[in-house]
Amino acid sequence: MTAKPRVGLFVTCLVDLVRPQVGFAAVKLLEQAGCQVEVPAAQTCCGQPAWNAGADAHAVDIARQTIAAFEGFDHVVVPSGSCGGMIKRHYPEVFEKDEAWLARARALAAKTHELMSFLVKVRGMSGVTAQFAKTVCVHDSCSSLREMGVKAEPRALLGSVSGLTIDELKDQQTCCGFGGLFSVKYPEISERMADDKIADALSTKATVLTGGDLGCLLHLKGRMARQGKALEVRHAAEILADMGGEPALGEP
């Protein structure tokens, strides 16, 4: 038997703060997929808020810290397309003019994966052992779709959950309006985009909205809570790790 691959879990700042269960779900799934999981204590945030705001100096410092903390692993796995996209697509841009760090950024980018695509594509996982007897709709985050190329994997894994049915959104391409600081800087535009997405979700048979990015989910749940709309919202990893019985996002 070959040695277990060492996986560094990049928890993401939102999971760390708001939804630790997603982190534990990720650990459980990765272990089921035969990985040895470690969670470096030297991680904070991927630096995307700084990078997207054009605060490049901050982004450089944070990216260096992340690279140093994770470059020793065989793989870096992130339960978010957005933070994964930051590492995989944007760290090399952050260091475009710094050759030494560029090489390290590229090396890290090459082994960084979004959680569900890692399970399916790298570890060959075809299903999970979990129960969730509800109908769900799946929200693809823009970074999962367009930066990480993740679309089929969450559906393949969710499809294997016993009792679960997927009823898809009509529009699977359009942004939900989160966009990090965008949601704070342009709340009314963000609100309209959220409302369109929520209307789409409510028009399906789903009672649960799930997805791979906690940012979008917090935004959509936050908006639904404000309006008194009652869809259950939870990260797909929780369902896959058979933790779907815990209270959902924003529920006491």
Partner 1 sequence: MNLDPRNFQQAAREALNDPLLRPALGRMKTHFGAGRAAAVARYGDFEALREAGKAIRDYAVTHLDELLTQFERSVVARGGTVHWARDAAEARDLILGILRDAGAKTVTKGKSMVTEEIALNPFLEANGIVPVETDLGEYIVQLRHEPPSHIIAPAFHLSKEQVAETFFASHTDLDPKRSLVERNALVQEARAVLRRSFESADAGITGANFLSAKEGAAVIVTNEGNGDLTRLLPKMHIVVTGIEKVVADMNDVAVLLRLLPRSATGQPISTYVSVMAGRRGADESDGPQAFHVVLVDNGRSKLIGTEAQDVLRCIRCSACINHCPIYGAIGGHAYGATYMGPIGAALNPGVMGVENAAHHANASTFCGRCAEVCPVKIPLPRIMRHWRAVEHSKGLAPRSITAGLGVWAFAAKRPGLYRLGASVMAWFLRMMGRRGTVHALPVMQGWFAVRDFPVPQGRTFQAQWKARRQNAAERIGLEGGNSRSRQQR
Instruction: Give the footprint of partner 1 on residues 69-98 (CB under 8 A).
Output: 93
Which residues in 112-151 contact partner 1 (CB under 8 A)?
Answer: 142-143, 146-147
Q: Residue 182 interacts with partner 1 (CB under 8 A)?
A: yes
Residue number with CB closer to partner 1 (12 or 204): 12
Which residues in 33-72 contact partner 1 (CB under 8 A)?
Answer: 36-37, 39, 41-45, 47, 49-56, 58, 61-62, 65
Q: Which of 5, 174, 202, 242 binds partner 1 (CB under 8 A)?
A: 174
Q: Which of 7, 15, 128, 208 binds partner 1 (CB under 8 A)?
A: 15
Q: Residue 189 interacts with partner 1 (CB under 8 A)?
A: yes
Q: Residue 5 interacts with partner 1 (CB under 8 A)?
A: no
Residue number with CB closer to partner 1 (134 or 146): 146
| Residue-wise DSSP of the chain | -PPPPEEEE---HHHHHH-HHHHHHHHHHHHHTT-EEE--TT----SHHHHHTT-HHHHHHHHHHHHHHHTTSSEEEES-HHHHHIIIIIHHHHTTT-HHHHHHHHHHHHTEEEHHHIIIIIT-------B--SEEEEEPPHIIIIIS--SHHHHHHHHTSBT-EE---S-SSS--S-TTTHHHHSHHHHHHHHHHHHHHHHTSS-SEEEES-HHHHHHHHHHHHHHT---EEEEHHHHHTT-TTS--TT--
Residue number with CB closer to partner 1 (148 or 164): 148
Q: How many residues bind partner 1 (CB under 8 A)?
A: 73
Q: Residue 219 interacts with partner 1 (CB under 8 A)?
A: yes
